Chains A and B, each alone.
Chain A
Amino acid sequence: MEFFTKFPVMERTALMELKKGIDLSFRLFSRKYGDAIENFFDPLLFFLVKLEKLLLNTPWPIIILIIGILGWLGSRSWKLVIGSAIAFMLIGYFGMWNDTMATVAIISVCTTVCIAVGIPIGIVMSKSNRAEKAILPILDMMQTIPSFVYLVPILMLLGIGKVPGLIAVCIYALPPVIRLTNLGIREVDKEALEASEAFGATPFQKLRSVQIPLSLPTIFAGVNQTIMMALAMVVIASMIGVKGLGVPILRAISNQYLALGLMNGLAIVALAIIFDRITQEYGRRIQRHRGQKK
């Protein structure tokens, strides 16, 4: 009877030994390779530090001007340009300028890294069903595993700071761009592909001049999602020593500073809305452009 009422559990000491064994082997691994891995990421750190310094040292009117120009290039909408300028001025007025710049720096680098890594993986997935089957479960895991779980190994391997923060953010923010690149390329019209084949296009030519251009709007939706998810991870990244808007939020959580938390939270929301609208509008514009051509 006991078999049915009590779940057969691994023996207590054996379980403990197993956990200790996993920990110890990871510790040995990080002792052996930690420095090498850290050195590998040094160029990234250098880039991150420089970008943050650049953003912080640039006079604020120039930053707002650049945001405005980017907004205009992306969306061609005056409303959006003026809206983002006002949002940034409010952020600065409420004393969150430096934290916001730190956040913008890490988000931009994160997005760049995610695109650089994600789009090639997405293309590989779209080319091979086997690759797709192998990669999809990994993406599922990356998106659902609680971030605190992978913070521990990242900390042991790389310590605290910008690079581990960037990796933590990318683990969560990378999947959308991979998924949507894969989806976009797979959804390209079969007839368009057949036509290009009939003209004797090589697989690379097919990819470069037919599949990628036609799937750009979908890929762009993926980039947009990646930015959004990266912003959502700002607070988690701050837990391992990344400067930015997450730090005051952590302070607000543990001290019940309602206003502080709210203001910095809203600043993240404002950033998210600005990035989202600009990239979405841009995505819509390249789609409209395609529609006209047809």
Chain B
Amino acid sequence: MNIKKILLSTLLVLGIGSFSGIANAGCGKVVIASQNWASAELMAEVDKAILEKGYGCEVELIPGATMPTFASMDEKGAPDMNPEQWANAVYTPLIKAVDEGRLVIANEAPITGLGEGWWLTPGSIEKHPELKGMTAMEILKHPEWFPSKEDPSKGAFVGCPAGWGCQLANANLYRAFEMEKKGWVLIDPGSAAGLDGTISKAAESGNAWFGYYWNPTSIVGKYNLQAVPWGIDFAGRDNWDNCITKAEQDCADPKPTAWTKSEVNTIITSKFAKQGGKDIVKYIGKRTYPGNVMNGMLVWMADNQAGGSDAAIEFLSKHEGVWTKWVSSKVAKKVKAGL
């Protein structure tokens, strides 16, 4: 009896909710993946605002993450769009999906100046001034500068949380550089919160920290993380795609290499490319966030604990000069009116 009532009222609420959505249907229903990190959330919310207000779409955001979202788009054709797909993790299947006409790369560089790599906290350089200008290959000779909490005789290298594409890459590079022999342990921080936690803790207390991170992020902006040059060349796509990004058992002999150049794409399903129409595809193609604007937005989000939707409003109202170039003046007016 009680459960029935609850179900009934939920249905009612959901029903009312979806009614108001249908009211401004124009380009149809679009599902956008809102991945679980700040820049992706912001981009998803900005796309939602512009597509809804400017193009009359009915946009639904669904949560996502690099691998699951890609798999779902590739296999099921849903969600329709991923604003920030990190291509390295899915390089081979992405090319295959594009060749076979399932997915379309709508924007090859939605954010400028981004990249994955290894970083140091400024505190590391203060404690060990020799680190300034050192390459990763030289730093690897000094595990004693980054003592691990659980076994201080080893150096701690903080890798990627389990399940992220970069976890495999870091684990394979760990083997390729023979870091175990050199006295390092690879720390699995467990989750995004864990990874950020190790950095903010080290940075706040001025301690040394050496590990993987990526740009653009509020963490890099806020704590002024220093990118480490590799001091070694990129050893070719074959080594990277067929070994470094694979699970350990599929990568028997990883060769030492620099990190691959990071590529981020906005990918959409070919169904949405057709259904959405030329204008929308054109908008997505033009939508490029300058790296410094993006970093500024991310620090703003972190400082204000703002979610993607607040940040989208902030972005659309503060950075008009950036986004009005992406759309026609007519659409821009509509978006502005809708704010």
Hey, which chain B residues are within 8 Å of A256, CB to CB? 67-68, 71
Interface SS of chain A: helix, strand, loop or mixed?
helix
1/0 contact string of A71-89 vs chain B (CB within 8 Å): 0000000000000000000
**Contact between B198 and A251 (Cβ–Cβ < 8 Å)?**
no
Pick the contact of B190 from A16, A152, A247, A253 — CB < 8 Å? A247
The answer, yes or no, to whether B164 is at the interface (CB within 8 Å) is yes
Query: Within residues 158 to 175 of chain A, which ones have a CB less than 8 A from any CB in chain B?
Result: 159-162
CB of B49 to closest CB in A, whole Å: 18
User: CA of A243 to CA of B190 in the docked complex: distance in angstroms?
Assistant: 9
Pick the contact of A252 from B161, B163, B187, B188 — CB < 8 Å? B163
Hey, which chain B residues are within 8 Å of A241, CB to CB? 187-190, 194, 198
The answer, yes or no, to whether A107 is at the interface (CB within 8 Å) is no
**Contact between B201 and A156 (Cβ–Cβ < 8 Å)?**
yes
User: CA of A34 to CA of B303 in the docked complex: distance in angstroms?
Assistant: 21
Hey, which chain B residues are within 8 Å of A124, CB to CB? none
**Contact between B197 and A240 (Cβ–Cβ < 8 Å)?**
yes
By beta carbon, the residue of chain B nearest A152 is: B193
1/0 contact string of A95-138 vs chain B (CB within 8 Å): 00000000000000000000000000000000000000000000
**Contact between B197 and A155 (Cβ–Cβ < 8 Å)?**
yes
Question: A23, A45, A159, A160: which has the most chain B beta carbons within 10 Å?
Answer: A160
CB of B19 to closest CB in A, whole Å: 18
**Contact between A240 and B151 (Cβ–Cβ < 8 Å)?**
no
- The interface size of chain A toward B, counting residues with CB under 8 Å, comes to 36
CB of A118 to closest CB in B, whole Å: 26
User: CA of A278 to CA of B191 in the docked complex: distance in angstroms?
Assistant: 34
User: CA of A23 to CA of B222 in the docked complex: distance in angstroms?
Assistant: 15
**Contact between B163 and A253 (Cβ–Cβ < 8 Å)?**
yes
The answer, yes or no, to whether B2 is at the interface (CB within 8 Å) is no
**Contact between B304 and A254 (Cβ–Cβ < 8 Å)?**
no
The answer, yes or no, to whether A49 is at the interface (CB within 8 Å) is yes
Pick the contact of A155 from B161, B167, B194, B305 — CB < 8 Å? B194
CB of B327 to closest CB in A, whole Å: 28
The answer, yes or no, to whether A289 is at the interface (CB within 8 Å) is no
User: CA of A87 to CA of B164 in the docked complex: distance in angstroms?
Assistant: 30
A255 and B163 in contact, given A49-B151, A240-B193 (Cβ under 8 angstroms): yes
Please report A residues at the B interface, Cβ cutoff 8 Å. Answer: 16, 19-20, 23, 27, 30-31, 34-35, 45, 49, 148, 151-152, 155-156, 159-162, 238-243, 246-248, 250-256
What are the nearest 3 A-B pairs in CB distance?
A254-B163, A155-B197, A239-B191
